[in-house]
A and B are shown apart, each in its own frame.
Chain A
Amino acid sequence: MGRTLAEKVWEQHVVRRAEGEPDLLYIDLHLIHEVTSPQAFDGLRLAGRKVRRPDLTIATEDHNVPTVLGPISDPVSKTQVETLRKNAAEFGVRLHPMGDAGQGVVHIIGPQFGLTQPGMTIVCGDSHTSTHGAFGGIAFGIGTSEVEHVLATQTLPAYRPKTMAIEVSGELPAGVTAKDLILAIIAKIGTGGGQGYIVEYRGEAVRKLSMEGRMTVCNMSIEAGARAGMIAPDETTFAYLKGRPHAPEGEAWDQAVEYWKSLRTDDDAVFDKVVEIDAASLTPYVTWGTNPGQGLPLGESVPSPESFSDPVARSAAERALEYMGLTAGTPLRQIEVDTVFVGSCTNGRIEDLRSAAEILRGRQVKTRTLIVPGSMMVKLQAEQEGLHEVFKAAGAEWREAGCSMCLGMNPDTLQPGERSASTSNRNFEGRQGKGGRTHLVSPQVAAATAVTGRLTAPADL
């Protein structure tokens, strides 16, 4: 019987297999940031251990960093960033600190440097590590104990998850994006639907996505409960990688491409579960609740809790409407927002900024609008293309790179009761600041919403 893509990549990385034990899996790339690493480095020091492969490890500062120029004002954030600097220096790990041209959100810089390649295993103390699966590798988030384990051994003990195919047939209609697709998928299978699985996104609509779009989709796999999401590499992947600083060159490139082409699910392989989505039926999606599964097409209205037959879903909806300050039956298009955030590891890449700029060109924003590039390289490229002038002319704020309002660990937060349209990945209670209310949207919907002050699709303008 044939094998799935996930099985092929997994098997390639098994260091040791023994009956009744998890596989010992080799890790090709370990990404580090300041939040989930300090206690792991402390653990190494206590045990007198070294980083086994600093040459397969890279660190950046992203979660705490301010997105306006200047030093970190919060002393606790400052200590955390300084701790990373000390640890990186002591253990010999390459670090891209604030102000460095290579600094940015950890999941933006890996692909940008060409460090994220097909068939690799990639981990990071961050659940959105699933982003890197867009290149056809297995990439997943880990906790601090596992960060320490990878630092010390470059391996992880793990059981291979089950495999799920999400088949997206047909083409996405004009104006419907990768973000809408993944929000629709999460709404369909739920926040627990992917638990225990590696998801492979397949089908015509997925093949037609750019690498940026594929990263957006894989990024939110964890929001459907799946630790990892992946897409088989193809010419789109190879074209994105070619010429990047850490991509193979010359003969090594040819060898690599030949191997990468074998990284696809065999025709006779069997998935443990298959979910089918019709791309042509999709429209722009937004969330109305406090988990990413509580989403609907923008054309719909806030649902009534009574419309859920499952009692757990019903009480979750009741609670969500109360927290969100929404009334059942209100058309989603009538929801007014105070802030628009474009950025994050979900939608902070150049293509996202271009699509937001296209909508804001020649228009004025009605709300506070933060445009936060995912990395300094994205920022530079956007400025070379003049996008920053478009944003500024529209009245939006053009910021420095970082995680920013996605999780509010830096000064970019919502005030209690404030409402945002956000291109990030989580609408949890308080995620963007205590008491803040978040609607997850695509960059296009975010930009259109900034113009009208209400949840809006570009086609409505």
Chain B
Amino acid sequence: MDAFTTHTGTAVPLRRSNVDTDQIIPAVWLKQVSRTGFEKGLFAAWREDPTFVLNDPSYQGGTILVSGPDFGTGSSREHAVWALQQYGFRAVIAARFGDIFRNNSTKMGLLPVILPGDKVEALQSAVEADPKLEVTVDLVERQVRWADEVVPFEIDDYTRWRLMEGLDDIGLTLRHADDIATYENGRQPWLPTTV
């Protein structure tokens, strides 16, 4: 996956709550068997509305999405993460995230940043006032910075390390292949197999 240390860019304010993964990438786009081309499906239905924020030229080139609470609820589709990344987003900031979406993001190197609701609002307002405002998402320092604001965020050490190194989980787990084999030998005998 892509490594993430610190990123500075402009932001896109998405003033909606409960942005479910069906909105991020509608199901019709999930029929693809490749990993590319999902940027065209990002917010496909909402983008048909000319007033939708992604259609506003002042936010063009934004790389940090700043959303209302409960972003990424619903379906487990990792395609939502791929669509956001392929469109150009590096981080999503919200007060709350759907658990599966947040997990999927950290597997792909899209940084989900949890900030308090009032700070998210403040950032949205600041970006609306100045769409060219520089925003920094700093994973090393665990901070989001804009103008004079410095807002800390929490992320566990292990996930932060993986993201900063851009490490692939499978490779890490396979270092413990012996532990897996040992565990398998002790499994309860009645557990089913699909054979």
Contact of A56 among B30, B35, B81, B194 (CB under 8 A): B194
Are B98 and A316 neighbours in the complex by a CB distance under 8 Å?
Answer: no
Contact at A79–B45, with CB atoms within 8 Å? no
Shortest Cβ distance from residue A247 to the other chain B in the assembled complex, whole angstroms: 8
Binds A, one of B12-20, B54-62, B139-147: B12-20
- Check: B96 CB closer than 8 A to any chain A CB: yes
Q: Is A431 interfacial (CB 8 A cutoff)?
A: yes
* Partner-contacting stretch, out of A207-215, A251-259, A269-277, A370-378: A251-259
Of A166-174, A189-197, A388-396, A447-455, the one with at least 4 CB within 8 A of chain B? A189-197
A58 near B69: Cβ-Cβ < 8 Å: no
CB distance from B172 to the nearest CB of A (A): 8
Known: A127-B100, A316-B17. A24 touches B74 (CB 8 A): no
**Given the complex of chains A and B, what is the CA–CA distance between A143 and B30 in angstroms?**
13
Q: B194 and A259: CB pair below 8 A?
A: no
Q: How far is it, in angstroms, between the C-alpha of A316 and the C-alpha of B78 when the chains are bound? A: 25
Once the chains are docked, how many angstroms separate the CA of A364 from the CA of B17? 40
Chain B residues within 8 Å of chain A by Cβ, number: 61
**Cβ distance B42 to chain A, nearest Cβ, rounded Å:** 14
**Contact, CB under 8 Å: B180 / A153:** yes
Main secondary structure of the interface of B (DSSP, over half): loop
Q: Which residues of chain B have C-beta atoms less than 8 A from A120's C-beta? A: 191
- The distance from the CB of B9 to the nearest CB of chain A, in whole angstroms, is 24
Contact B70 A155 (CB under 8 A): no
Contact B26 A430 (CB under 8 A): yes
A360 interface hit (Cβ, 8 Å): no
In whole Å, how far is A232's beta carbon from the nearest beta carbon of chain B? 18
Q: Are B179 and A24 in contact (CB under 8 A)?
A: yes
Interface contact B108-A145, CB-CB below 8 Å: yes
B156 within 8 A of A: yes
Alpha-carbon gap, A56 to B188, bound state (A): 14
Question: What residues of B have a CB within 8 angstroms of the CB of A255 in the complex?
Answer: 189-190
Chain B residues with Cβ below 8 Å from A146 are 103-104, 107
Does any Cβ of B come within 8 Å of A404's Cβ? no
Among B30, B98, B169, point to the contact of A149 (Cβ < 8 A): B169
Flag whether A227 is at the interface (Cβ < 8 A).
yes
Complex alpha-carbon distance, A259 and B187, angstroms = 13
Q: Which residues of B contact A291 (CB under 8 A)?
A: 18, 20, 73
B20 touches A94 (CB 8 A): no
